[in-house]
Structure 1
């Protein structure tokens, strides 16, 4: 006697279907980095590069070896980015702006792994460059996710990305070219 197989077909509710569509949009394969263009971004990058070079010269004139001076510049810049996010987060929480506070909390979690490697591996420019690059990729990725969830963007992401990009370029200038 053949067995009767009962197939249960369930239709997704509208709410579940909307959640599934949002989840598919947030998939990492859909992430496209946006390039910041314009002369304003170039001027900001040049300003940061000059600032990093001046700080580097000051540290080397105080007797720090080249590698340690470069990683110290990276540590100082990372600390400034962190402090900027933290100050804005406190401000938005005090003002009751939950959306902005959530965006800044995500930004802080994106770069939380940056400061410790720079301190632990002082003088290792390659390691510092990798740590800065990883933090920048996390920040870009999480910023892209937040923008797709709700287009309420925060300019702090762009400022931090520009700072980390300039810092990456600064650290890359000291690395010897492979033959």
Structure 2
């Protein structure tokens, strides 16, 4: 009975607005990057710091939802789904913190977390067929972080200080 779709209450669904959300994230990452560079961080360190901040937000979002679901009666399956999501991205924030400024390492860490998230999402879809918006939102954020890390520094036209 826990697997019945009527027991699932999605928080938000990206739906057809995924392109708009991706553009918004891209703009947000660029602004944050510019702010960090203006505060004195070298370009590569600022890029990995933006990735770390985004990864931390994904982690915090999953953790907050997990706490809510564990506290709510009858929401254990949703809590289990979110616990799997957290393990999917477990090492990403720490890896980004340990290798500040290493864009290649940051890209690999984000890509690995995204692959784990997608793999676990696929497995969970078999048990929880209506899908989880949390996984879709996190995947969109991680795709945006990947794209941000792949951009050539200085190609945004923001010039030097």
Deviation at 1:153, TM superposition (A): 2.0
Aligned residue in 2 for 1:79: 56
2:34 and 2:85 map into 1 onto residues whose CA distance is 30
Deviation at 1:39, TM superposition (A): 4.9
TM-score scaled to structure 1, two decimals?
Answer: 0.75
1:47 and 1:104 map into 2 onto residues whose CA distance is 25
2:150 and 2:27 map into 1 onto residues whose CA distance is 15
Structure 1 residue 90 corresponds to structure 2 residue 67: yes
DSSP-derived class of the 2:91 partner: coil
Q: Matches of residues 124-139 of structure 1 in structure 2 within 5 Å?
A: 124-139=102-117
Q: Matches of residues 1-179 of structure 1 in structure 2 within 5 Å?
A: 39-96=16-73, 97-174=75-152
1:79 and 1:39 map into 2 onto residues whose CA distance is 25
Q: Deviations over 1:45-80 (max 9, x none)?
A: 000000000000000000100000000000000000
Q: For residues 39 and 101 of structure 1, do their structure 2 counterparts lie closer, same or farther at Cα, with a shift above 3 Å needed?
A: closer
Q: Which segments of 5 or more consecutive residues in structure 2 lack a partner in the other structure?
A: 1-13, 154-161
DSSP-derived class of the 1:174 partner: coil
Which of 1 and 2 has higher RCO (CA within 8 Å, sep 6+)?
2
